[in-house]
Structure 1
Amino acid sequence: MRAVGSHEFIDLPLSADRDVFELRRQGQLLCRALGLEGHELVRVVTVLSEVGRDLLGSPALRVGLRTAPQPDGVHVLASFSWGGDRRPGAETLQAAQRLLDHSRYSASDEGHTLTVGQRLPSTNTPPEQRVERARAALRGSGDLSMGEELRSQNRQLLRALEESRAQQEELRRLNKELEETNQGVVALYSELSAELEETNTGVVALYAELEDKTRQLRLASEAKTRFWANVSHELRAPVNSVISLARLLMAPGADPLSEEQRQQLSLIAGSGSTLLALVEELLDVAKAESGRLEPVPADTDLRTLLHQLRGTLGGMAHEGVRLHIPDVSDAPRLVTDEVMLTRVLRNVLSNGLKFTTTGEVRLTVETETRGGQTWFAFTTTDTGVGIPLDQQERVFEEFYQVLGVHQRGRPGTGLGLPYARRLTTILGGTLTLTSAPGQGTTVRVDVPAHLDAPAGEVRGADGDAPRAVEATARLGSLVVVDDDPTFLDLLRPTLERIADDVTEVPVSARAFDVIRGRRPDAVLIDLVMPAPDGYTLLGVLARDPLTARIPVVVLTSTDPSEVDRTRLTHARSVLNKTHLTRERILLALGLDPVPAVPPVAGDAPAESGKTTE
């Protein structure tokens, strides 16, 4: 498409009505020759007539018709100019702005100018041909009487009226179709509303059912948590007893054993330790799910931790498999939950040993700085069977085990890696795994070098706040309240090394009277007992002036994270029954655990009294 460009066509003075008629006639001829037809043509000539009549009588009134390019295309423009003070009427300006594409009025000391115009339609006719056609139309227009002009206007009005009637008929037809469509829409809306209401009813019922199922699942989860909390004491106590009895029988001062007996007791102790570790892992997984497993940070001796892992896992290595755990001597300070970190590394390393038949399982320890904080990176690599790519995320699902060669002769619960990842997250770190079938597996554990303790908690001996140590190493009298006779049998030799007189109270209902009557130097109380339990007994002792100042240490098989410490303000410390030693009990009581002075040869050993109340 090609533009017409800028061309001047008409320049007329306007001084009488006939001049306005001539403007209308020539404007109509010019616009038609330039391609304007129909309503657009009528709008242009109507505005030319209205402006001409409105300004008629103004000094030096003239009008020029031309074409000129504009931003939206070529326009046919009519520019009216005049002198004096007269301004175009507001209705005239509004009509020009409403009917045409272009309308601009300006006034200055030199005069007034009003330019109106319409955009020309696009056409394939060459611009020069259109201009020539317009000039020819103007040259051949001749003179036209006012009557003929009126008849021409009437014909145009009649055509416009017929077009308007046709448009009205089309509008009526469209309105009828729209009305029919609206009726269909209303019917469809009613149908959809009914279906939606029915669907909403079903959704409400489904939501109620889901809510009920959610409630049932929550209750089941709570019941499971209560089950683990209630059974933990019953599970741990006999397992601890088995382990302790086996160790007592194998102790250097015990009766001599044959090699076979020692081997059997070693197997009993090892199996008991494995069972205890499994029970603790199951309990920790349940507590982690419920958000009740919290870390207790403390200074951690990394070298000792790795040494213990080396000794614990050394026996798991198959023939032809080397286990390499480094001896770290110059590592930065590590403040974390030592128990949790040990369990994480033990699970990762034992997993590598389980699935490696030849080659090695290697642990490396590195430190790096991120954002001004020191991090430890524990990386375990093995030369085992490897894990397929599509299974590498599923191995972190609880109880899931990779099918195929991973299960042959390798029993397990499927808790190792999920448990290790949960503990790593609790320690503020991350656990990532990369592997390929036949090329081994790499597991990286990143933990911060300093883990902040939960608000209000400071770890001391066995998880309790540290206290000042007094300068003594032996008590005159001690009362222990516990309903487990097996545990008392195991603990008795240790207590006889702590106090001259030990009173055992297996029935907690009699404990307060015994303690008030004897006024011992210290009291050990089991937390979980038939009523009154350890919490209640502590409260009674704290309220009585005669017993309130007696040091009390709580003994329990319950996990420290499950102990309600808000009810233990009268206790000096809380000790787990596992691996109780003379030193740990003395430290918990605030005493200096110096070794007892051995008796001189020939002297009779000091007698220790034991009473059962």
Structure 2
Amino acid sequence: MNAPTDHGAPADRGAPQPPVHLGNASVGTVQDTFALRRSARAVADLLGADGQDAVRLATALSELGRGLLGADRLAVVFDLRPGLPDALRVTLTWRGGHRLSAEALEASGRLLSTHHEHTGAGGLVRIEQRLGPAPDPDPVGRARRLLAEHTGPSALEDSRAQTRDLIAALEQTRAQREELRRLNSELEETNRGVLALYSELSEELEETNRGVVALYAELDEKSRQLREASEAKSRFWANVSHELRTPVNAVVGLAELLRTDTDAPPEERARQLSLIADSGRTLLALVDELLDVAKAESGTLDPQWAALDLRAVLAHLDGTLRGLARPGVALRIGPAPAGAEPLLGDETMLVRILRNLLSNALKFTEHGSVRLDTRIEQAPGGGPVLVLTVTDTGVGIPPDQHERVFEEFYQVKGPHQRGRRGTGLGLPYARRLAEILGGTLHLDSAPGRGTAITVRLPAHPAPPAGARWAVLVAVDDDPVFRDVLRPLLHEISDRVVETHDGAAALSAVRAARPDGIVLDLHLGEVDGYRVLADLRADPALRQIPVVILTSASLGTADRARLAHARAVLPKSGLTAARIAAALSAPRPAAPRRPLPPQDGS
């Protein structure tokens, strides 16, 4: 509160203000202490003290007054001390050697800050209570009048007043305790929330740490793969450079010999030319093999489905590989399974698989035999399976190398490699071709007991010569190409239904219920991709075999969207037999597998 002057003018806050005297009281009897307590409480209330603060002031003065009863000329002075905030100052003075009891001084000190002085001539004790805004417009005047009318109540009235103060204090204490309990409850709830947040953050941090650890593990794995790729690259250049250099040196050397030896007899010149041709064929075969491996890696090496005569394949292998066997090593190929009918397959891929396996076995077998056995098995819950097993009595492969031998350009190190260089592509290439044909390749080997490699391929019977389909649907928007396609389809079908756009294709298929569909890939707005997707989505139509025709490069086709097709054929070089074989091709095992389209390039 702003402390007024004696005349009621506002105080100048720019300089310290002197205290404002409110009044005096004397204490000589117990009755006076009751009056002092009551007056102090009333004055404090008038000047803006909090209720509890007013009770503390009145109680402290009551204790001090009782402790000083009997002192000579005991007087009490009430002053208003201006300040920020204002304070009510009460000073008790007396004469003589009377001493304030320690109990009274301690009781007052527990309630308010208490200043005490004592000399031989007398003593002084002072307490102050800070004030708030005064509710009365003239607090100083009313306080002075109240102190001027200073009268003491009876002991009973004072006791009742103290009881009321105590009850009020107890109620306030209880309210504060309830408030404290509420605050404690809120604090506990906050603590639970903090703990839950901490737990959540800890879990997220642990998850992040696990992710970081996994990332480091992945980076380590990628680094290992990069090192292995670098090693494979080094092996590739070392092996391929040797393999390429050998036939190239032979060609260059023999050509130079022919150029300089002009007097050589015709027979010698013919022999040298034959050697040049053999070296050139060896070089071409190696280049073709490298290109095929690259195509297989990129998923663009596709089977060319046609009737496969297994007996002719085995006879060809026997004739071309028998000369590679060492003295003392028997090569046994055949025979084809009894009663085996022509199968649907890719003769070139099958020959390359078996030639790689047999030549590899012959390379590392010094004594004993190399065998190729064939049989037809019935797969559990599936169709017939062609099983081809190449067995040798060679050096064998340690178990820890079984997977590594299927890495491109990798060769098992050891004395058996001396004089037997190669590219390290044979086994990886053979396995990849087997997978492209829808089969598997499994190796079983151990040092000292040789090697057995088993190839399992689906044995799809080839369509018999002259086989016919009742109805075929041809979809193509080019009338000129339809004129080319029509006679080819009539060679293998009793009825051909033609449609010129993709929008009408589904209606034509539903109406004709054909045995097969020949579908152009590029049809305009509704293209072959869309038609193929609609056929796959219809349970009544999804089993009809579809062959895709395209004049575009097969390497640009979206193979994932063509997974439902039996084959993709280039429009150039089409024959009725190729279309028939493609319609009879095995259904792709899964969309992720390479499709069985045929590359006409």
- Superposition TM-score, scaled by structure 2 size: 0.37
Larger Rg: 2
